[in-house]
Amino acid sequence: MNTIWENIDKKLYEYQNTSVELNPHFAPRQADVINLIDSYWMSKYRDGPSDSSGYKKAFYNIILKPTYVASKMVDLDTKDIRVMAEEGQSYYPAWFFGKELKLWMKNTKNQNGQSFGQLLNDIVYQLPKYGHVLLKKAKGSVFIVPLQSVRNDPTASGILKSDWMAIEHNLTIKEMKSQGWDENKVKLVFDKYNEKGKVKIFEFIGDAKDNSKNNYFIVPEKCETEEYIIFQDKIKVEDYFKEIKWEDIPKRAIGRGQPEKLFENQIAKNTDENLFRTGLRWSSKHIYQSRDESLAKNMLTDIENGDLLTALSEITPIAVEERNLAAYQASAVKWDKNTADTTFAYESISGERPPAGTPLGTSVLQSQQAGAFFDLKREDLGMFLKEVIFDWIIPDFKKDKKRAHKIMFGEFDEDEIDKLKGLILTNKLNESLFSNIKKNGRLPNTNERMILKGILQEKLKNDKDIEIPENYYDDVKYKIDIVITNEQIDIASRMTTLQTILQIIGSNPTILRDKVTKKVFYKLLDLTGISPIDLNVEEEMPLEDMAGQMMAQRGGSIAGVQPIATPQQTTNSQTI
């Protein structure tokens, strides 16, 4: 029977020695591809910085720009995440849910000190760079797992589709204690296996221990006996890990990103650049020839300025100037075009001026083709992030905000504070009107309503926060949408939509008073990407409906209009 480390070590050996059929011949293994991407990203040669003659090789980096262009084109931010009310539900709870969710994502940090917005930026940068992003959720923290530390079956259809996976960690004693592991185990393992103050730990998922129901193990490298197993459990991998690929490659675990697409281009550009530099090295020299053997061998060192030479034969220069510049230029143009075609990083997308003489139609067509390609990638990323938000972010948010809590108005901008106070005012006014109808059995007149509203408005001026009741978000019915059409740059479309809204309201001012037309109008706004809350319209319940509801509860009829009692002052903290 094998020990747990023998089983794990066997898998690690397979990872180190398995070649992937569709990998480049100069990077046959999964680790080779990742290491080559990192080297090229830093403009470093894999095989050293010098050529066979000892001269330093130049590195003409062409992978950075296409990768940054791809990141820009698929960029997503927390502002692109919208929380919308389900069909038939009020917009206000969903709007408030979305607002506090974004505040929570902004203020909550993962184990690397990143907010969710910063994590999104990291995903957007790493996805087109490596072609693969692996996310992990642990102890309420969502973070990216570096591919450099991941071991798996390289020929599986995905890292999480592999029969096993291992993640390598090099931890200090302090870092080990911060994981929440058994302190006695931590001390035992550290004393036994630490090298230079760190222990190499493997987080292994798969069948590592014979006759065991567990599939998750945390062990030190070369773990000798079971007493050194730090932690073990049975888990569902999908509950703790998620992955996304930039481009899927058959029979390969990791995806392909922009740099890997350009491996051949990078090699060709470097070859051209170094051949050109070698030519410059020769063309910079001044070499002469003569049949007179008595002349100096080196005119730079053996002859002083102003010397008079007596030569038995003429002294003539040897032609060493570069005569192949056109070929170098043609090669550069060819590879630059191939790079742009391969990665869709055209001048019109990257913001550069196109070459002179390029027809306008060509630039427009290139922009449309590139835009369609990146829209698909952005859509894939959006669907992946929806899954992350639904499965990981929102459950933690609801758990964190389950109890009654307060939010300072300072967390909102001025426009949102006006909307929020309008919502509070509407709710408080409705509560007060309900109370007075119940107490007096009659409808208050317009002046009485205005007085009551003015009193409530005056109180709201002094409020500094808003109180959220316990379990407020448990019953909110919502759906998550992530904007994937880059609306923020479609100014013309947004202006047209707003102008249409103004025309509709101008032609029919009563549209927001009738229940049916208001519901249809709000639905129209929601479909165009504009929240009905942005109109800042107070949803006040008609007095007749209030009275009807109250009379249905208590029975009887509604009396005539009479003065109502002045409402009592309430505390500054408001509850919605």
Q: Which pLDDT tens digit goes with each residue over 249-287?
A: 999 999 999 999 999 999 999 999 999 988 888 888 888
pLDDT computed for residue 83 by the predictor: 81
Helix (H) or strand (E) holding 125: helix 116-130
Q: What is the DSSP string of 361-407?
A: HHHHHHHHHHHHHHHHHHHHHHHHHHHHIIIIIHHHHHHHT-S-EEE
Higher pLDDT among residues 365 and 180, named by residue? 180
Structure tokens at 544: 């007749």
Is this structure's pTM higher than 0.75? yes
- Residue 80 — very low, low, confident or very high, per pLDDT cuts 50/70/90? confident
What confidence category does residue 125 fall into, taking pLDDT thresholds of 50, 70 and 90?
very high
Mention every residue, 6+ apart, whose C-beta is less than 8 A from residue 323.
none
Distance of CA 255 to the CA centre of its chain: 17
pLDDT digits (tens, 9 = 90+) for 367-388: 666 778 888 899 999 999 999 9
pLDDT for residue 412: 74
> Which tens digits make up the pLDDT trace of 451-477?
888 888 887 777 778 777 788 787 776
With cut-offs at 50, 70 and 90, classify the pLDDT of residue 146: very high
Q: What is the pLDDT of residues 42-55, one digit of tens each?
A: 999 999 999 888 89
Q: Which residues contact 208 (CB under 8 A, 6 or more apart)?
A: 4, 7, 8, 164, 217, 219
The whole-chain average pLDDT of the chain stands at 82
Tokens of 432: 């007060």
Task: Tell me the range of 132-141, 284-293, 322-331 where mean pLDDT is highest.
Answer: 132-141
Rg (CA), the chain: 35
Residue 188 has pLDDT above 70, yes or no: yes
Confidence of residue 173 (pLDDT cuts 50, 70, 90): very high
Which of 113-122, 408-417, 429-438 is least confident?
408-417
Cα diameter, the chain: 135
Band (pLDDT 50/70/90 cuts) for residue 543 is very low
Q: Would you state the structure tokens that stand for residue 225, as one six-digit string?
A: 């006996």
Comparison of pLDDT for 221 and 539, the residue scoring more? 221
Res. 552: pLDDT tops 80? no
Predicted pLDDT at 571: 39
Which stretches of 31-149 are assigned E, i.e. beta strand?
Answer: 81-85, 132-138, 141-144
pLDDT confidence bin for 365, thresholds 50/70/90: low
Q: For residues 126 and 418, which has the higher predicted lDDT (pLDDT)? A: 126
Rounded Cα gap, residues 371 and 337, in angstroms: 18
pLDDT grade for 532, boundaries at 50, 70 and 90: low
**Chain centroid to CA 64: how far?**
18
Per residue, what are the HEC states of 504-521? HHHHCHHHHCCHHHHHHH
Please tell me the distance from the alpha carbon of residue 60 to that of residue 270, in angstroms, as a whole number.
6
Q: Which residues make Cβ contacts (< 8 Å) with residue 162, sequence separation at least 6?
A: 152, 153, 156, 253
pLDDT confidence of residue 358? 65
Q: Decide if pLDDT at 205 tops 80.
A: yes
Residue 302 is encoded by which pair of tokens?
């053996």
Q: Give the residue with greater pLDDT, 571 vs 423.
A: 423
Which range among 315-319, 327-331, 548-552 shows the weakest confidence by mean pLDDT?
A: 548-552
Buried b (16+ CB within 10 A) or exposed e, 345-355: bbebbeeeeee
- 544 has pLDDT over 60: no
Q: Is the pLDDT of residue 565 over 80?
A: no
Tell the burial category of 474 from Cβ atoms under 10 Å away from its Cβ (0-12, 13-18, 19+). Answer: exposed
User: 317 - beta bridge partners?
Assistant: 288
Sequence-distant (6+) residues with CB within 8 A of 449 are 429, 433, 543
Cα–Cα distance measured from residue 343 to residue 339, given in angstroms and rounded to the nearest whole number: 6
Cβ atoms of 232 and 22 closer than 8 Å:
no
Cα 96 to Cα 247, 420, 427, 525, 537, distances in angstroms: 37, 9, 14, 18, 15
The DSSP 8-state label assigned to residue 307 in this structure reads: P
Who has greater pLDDT, 346 or 208? 208
Instruction: Decide if pLDDT at 248 tops 70.
Output: yes
Q: Which two tokens stand for residue 353?
A: 């001026």
pLDDT band at 535 (very low <50, low <70, confident <90, very high): low
CA dihedral sign, ordered 445, 447, 448, 454: positive
Residue 139 is given by DSSP the state T
Identity of the highest mean pLDDT range in 80-94, 317-331, 425-439: 317-331
Q: What is the DSSP letter of 559?
A: B
Contact 538, 512 (CB under 8 A): no
Tens-place pLDDT, residues 473-495: 877 766 666 665 444 445 556 67
pLDDT at 362: 62
Work out the average pLDDT over 51-76.
Answer: 92
Indicate the pLDDT class of residue 350, thresholds 50, 70 and 90: low
**Minimum mean pLDDT range among 56-60, 75-79, 332-336, 415-419:** 415-419
The predicted pLDDT at position 458 comes to 81
pLDDT of 126 over the 90 cut: yes
Please count the residues of the chain. Answer: 576
- At residue 528 the predicted structure's pLDDT band, cuts being 50, 70 and 90, is low
Q: In the chain, what is the straight-line distance between the N-terminal and C-terminal CA atoms, in Å?
A: 64
Q: What angle do CA 265, 266, 268 make, to 5 degrees?
A: 65
**Structural contact between residues 27 and 36, judged by C-beta atoms closer than 8 angstroms:** yes
